Chains A and B, each alone.
Chain A
Amino acid sequence: MFKFILKRLGYMFVTLWIVATITFMLIHAIPGDPLASMARKLPDQIRANFYAKYGLDQPVVVQYGRFMKNIVLHGDLGESLAYQGRKVTDVIKIHAPISARLGIQAVAMGFFIGVSLGVLAAFNRGRWPDYLVMFIAILGISVPSFVMASLLQYFFTVKNMWLPTTGWGTFTHTILPSIALSFGSIATYARYMRANTLDVIGQDYILTAKSKGITKLALVWKHVIRNAILPAITILGPQLAGIFVGSFIIESIFSIPGFGFNFVTSVSDRDYTMVMGQTVFLCALVIIAYVLVDIVYGLIDPRIRLTGEKR
Chain B
Amino acid sequence: MAQLSKEKFQIIGCENSNAEEILRPSMTYWQDAWRRLKQNKVATASLVILILISLMTIVGPYINGFSFEVTNNDIVNKTPDMKHWFGTDNLGRDIFSRVWAGGRVSIIIGLIGAFVDTVVGSIYGGIAGFFGGFIDDIMMRIVEILGSIPYLVVVILVSLIFSKGIGAIIIAMTITGWVGMARLVRGQLLQIKEQEYVLAATALGANPSRIIAKHLLPNTLGIMIVAITFDIPSFIFGEAFLSYLGQGIQSPNTSWGALASAAQPNLMFYPYQLFFPSLFISLTMLSFTLLGDGLRDALDPRLRQ
Listed in ascending order, the chain A residues whose CB lies under 8 Å from chain B are 15, 18-19, 22-23, 26-27, 29-31, 138-139, 141-144, 146-147, 150-151, 153-154, 158, 165, 241, 244-245, 248-249, 252-253, 264, 267-268, 270, 275, 279, 282-283, 286-287, 290
| Size of interface on B: residues with Cβ below 8 Å to A | 37
Closest Cβ of chain B to A164, distance in Å, is 13
How far is it, in angstroms, between the C-alpha of A270 and the C-alpha of B160 when the chains are bound? 9
- B105 interfacial contact with A, CB 8 Å: no
Residues of B within 8 A of A (CB): 144-145, 148-154, 156-158, 160-161, 233, 237, 240-241, 244-247, 260-261, 264, 267-268, 271, 274, 278, 281-282, 285-286, 288-290
Please indicate which of the listed interface residues B149, B156, B286 has the most CB atoms of chain A within 10 Å of its own CB.
Answer: B149
- Contact in complex: A248, B245 (CB < 8 Å): yes
Residue of A30, A150, A244 touching B278 (CB-CB under 8 A)? A150
- Residues of chain B lying within 8 A (CB to CB) of residue A141: 285, 289
Q: Is the CB of A138 within 8 A of B290?
A: yes
What chain B residues lie within 8 Å of A264 (beta carbons)? 245
On whether the beta carbons of A244 and B245 are closer than 8 Å, the reply is no
A245 and B237 alpha carbons, distance in the complex (Å) = 13
Chain B hits for A144, CB < 8 A: 237, 240-241, 278, 281-282, 285
Contact indicator A30/B145 (Cβ below 8 Å) = no
CB B288 to nearest CB in A, in angstroms, measures 8
Q: Which A residues lie within 8 Å of B289 (CB)?
A: 138, 141-142
A99 to chain B, nearest CB (A): 14
User: Are A249 and B244 in touch, CB under 8 angstroms?
Assistant: yes
CB distance from A156 to the nearest CB of B (A): 12
Chain B neighbourhood of A142, CB < 8 A: 233, 282, 285-286, 288-289
Contacts A26-B161, A142-B282, A144-B285 given: A282-B267 contact, CB under 8 Å? no
A contact patch SS: helix
- Which residues of B sit under 8 angstroms from A165, Cβ to Cβ? 268
Q: Shortest Cβ distance from B177 into chain A, in angstroms?
A: 14
Q: A241-B150, A249-B245, A267-B247 are in contact. List 8 more A-B contacts (CB 8 A).
A: A22-B149, A26-B157, A142-B288, A144-B285, A146-B261, A147-B278, A153-B267, A249-B244
The listed residue with most B CB atoms (<10 A of its CB), out of A18, A30, A146, is A146
CA distance A27 to B278 in the complex (A): 32
Instruction: Give 12 A-B contacts (CB < 8 Å), ordered by A residue.
Output: A31-B161, A138-B290, A144-B278, A146-B261, A244-B150, A245-B150, A252-B245, A253-B264, A268-B246, A283-B148, A286-B150, A290-B148
Closest Cβ neighbor of B175 among chain A residues: A26
A279 to B149, CA, bound (A): 9
What's the Cα separation between A79 and B268 when bound, in Å? 37
Neighbouring B residues of A15 by C-beta, 8 Å: 144-145, 148
How far is the CB of B146 from the nearest CB of chain A, in Å?
A: 8
With A and B bound together, what is the CA distance between A142 and B145 in angstroms? 28
Q: Within the complex, which residue of B144, B150, B245, B267 is in contact with A268, where a contact is CB–CB below 8 Å?
A: B245
Residue of B nearest to A264 (CB): B245
**Nearest CB of chain A from residue B286's CB, rounded to whole Å:** 4
In the complex, A258 Cα to B290 Cα: how many Å?
34
Q: Which A residues are CB-close (under 8 A) to B288?
A: 142
The distance from the CB of A8 to the nearest CB of chain B, in whole angstroms, is 12
Interface pair A252/B244, CB less than 8 Å apart: yes
Across the interface, B260 reaches (CB within 8 A) one of A23, A147, A241, namely A147
Contact check, A150 vs B290: say whether CB atoms are below 8 A apart.
no
CA distance A140 to B150 in the complex (A): 20
B100 to chain A, nearest CB (A): 19
Q: In the complex, which residues of chain B have a beta carbon less than 8 angstroms from the beta carbon of A270?
A: 160
Tell me whether A146 and B240 are in contact in the complex, defined as CB-CB below 8 angstroms, given that A138-B286, A138-B289, A283-B153 are known contacts: yes
Cα A30 to Cα B237 in complex, Å, equals 24
Q: How far is the CB of B147 from chain A (nearest CB, A)?
A: 9
Q: Bound complex: CA of A139 vs CA of B283, how far in Å?
A: 10
Report which of B149, B157, B271 forms a contact with A154, defined as CB distance below 8 A: B271
From residue B163, how far is it (CB to closest CB) to chain A in Å?
8
Query: What residue in chain B is nearest A28 (Cβ atoms)?
Result: B161
**Roughly how many angstroms separate A151 CA and B277 CA in the complex, as a whole number?**
13
